[in-house]
Amino acid sequence: MPTKISRRDAFQTGAGLAVAATAAAPLLQAAIDPVQLNGRINHSVCKWCYRDLSVDELAEAAAQFGMQSVELLEPADFPAIQKHGLICAMVNGPGNITKGFNRREHHDRLIEGFEQRIPQVAAAGFPNIICFSGNREGLDDEAGLEVCAEGLKKVMPVAEKHKVTVCMELLNSKVNHPDYQCDHTEWGVELCDRINSERFKLLYDIYHMQIMEGDVIRTIRKRHAYIAHYHTGGNPGRNEIDDTQELNYPAICRAITETGFKGYVAQEFIPKRHPLGSLYEAVRLCDV
């Protein structure tokens, strides 16, 4: 991948031509012309889905596509996106998906990690940091709520001081993350109510929640006050968010905007075609 990435490059290299062919000629011309987005959606993209691109390369393309953010980064990555005028809308937190706040033995390490990372996020001017419940490992949902709330309440003073929102991600436990505890919206909503801080919200992953409970648009309309961030992904397969899968992303994004949402919608699909061509298509699809 060349250092300088243009919209023409995104479509005129190898598989990029196939993307243009399947999406029809007008999209190729649109990709060459200046990007004009509607401004009702703040667009982000998750770096881990683009392993063959550096942070700098992905940030350059994202900026050219009219996006505002590249996310799930470490503080060491911040300069690479900032030089392209982008932010990191969701910063990686300490810990991992399987070992989260639902076990007291993880609390000291996690709390210390968040107390160190949150000021770095605030200093960069970024809004959110991600956290996870951890796997159940035999723990029932009520006990998981109690222990998660106990640990996360200890993080809230630093989050509130620095005005950074800690977001727990809703993930599916059926296909991708067996035994993960925060796998239904209502469990996450109850956790938010117990923590009772404006600096604790949910990361609503549309792909994951389609697998676990469906009824995506109704849930967004009902529970939008608890949601600080959205992730996309095509289902089945977690690939391109096009007409090969069951989710209607223009309708979903319209529902998001109708709630008055001012946060970010991040593309988190794994491209099967040319990665930048697929990203460009997804941004245009969601820009309602």
Q: What is the pLDDT of residues 160-193, one digit of tens each?
A: 999 999 999 999 999 999 999 999 999 999 999 9
> Among 30-44, 197-211, 227-241, which stretch is predicted with the lowest mean pLDDT?
30-44
Q: What is the pLDDT of residue 1?
A: 32
| Overall fold of domain 37-271+281-286 | TIM Barrel (3.20.20)
Alpha-carbon gap, residue 188 to 186, rounded angstroms: 5
Sorted by where each begins, the domain ranges of the chain are 37-271+281-286
Rounded to an integer, what distance in angstroms lies between the CA atom of residue 185 and that of residue 189?
A: 6
Cα angle, residue 30 at apex, residues 24 and 34 outer, rounded to 5°: 170
Does the structure show a pLDDT above 50 at 118? yes
Rounded Cα distance, 167 and 132, in Å: 8
- Predicted confidence at residue 36, as pLDDT, reads 78
Give 21's pLDDT tier (boundaries 50, 70, 90). Answer: very low
Structure confidence at residue 35 as a pLDDT band (50, 70, 90): low
**Rounded-to-integer distance, Cα 281 and Cα 19, Å:** 9
Tell me the C-alpha distance between 262 and 157, whole Å: 24
| CA nearest to 216, candidates 165, 267, 250, 242 | 250
Average pLDDT of span 201-229:
98
Residues 6+ apart with CB under 8 A from 168: 101, 130, 131, 132, 133, 148, 152, 182, 188, 191, 200, 201, 202, 203
What is the share, in percent, of the chain residues with pLDDT greater than 90?
A: 87
Q: Is the pLDDT of residue 100 over 80?
A: yes
Q: Is 134 left (phi over 0), alpha (psi -120 to 50) or beta?
A: left
pLDDT above 90 (res 248)? yes
Model confidence pLDDT, tens digit, residues 254-288 = 999 999 999 999 999 999 999 999 999 999 999 99
Per-residue burial over 2-38, b if 16 or more Cβ lie within 10 Å, else e, is eeebebebbbbeeebeebbeebeeebbebbeeebebe
Per-residue CA distances from 268 to 14, 190, 211, 247, 271 (Å) = 23, 26, 15, 14, 9
* Mean predicted lDDT score pLDDT of the chain: 90
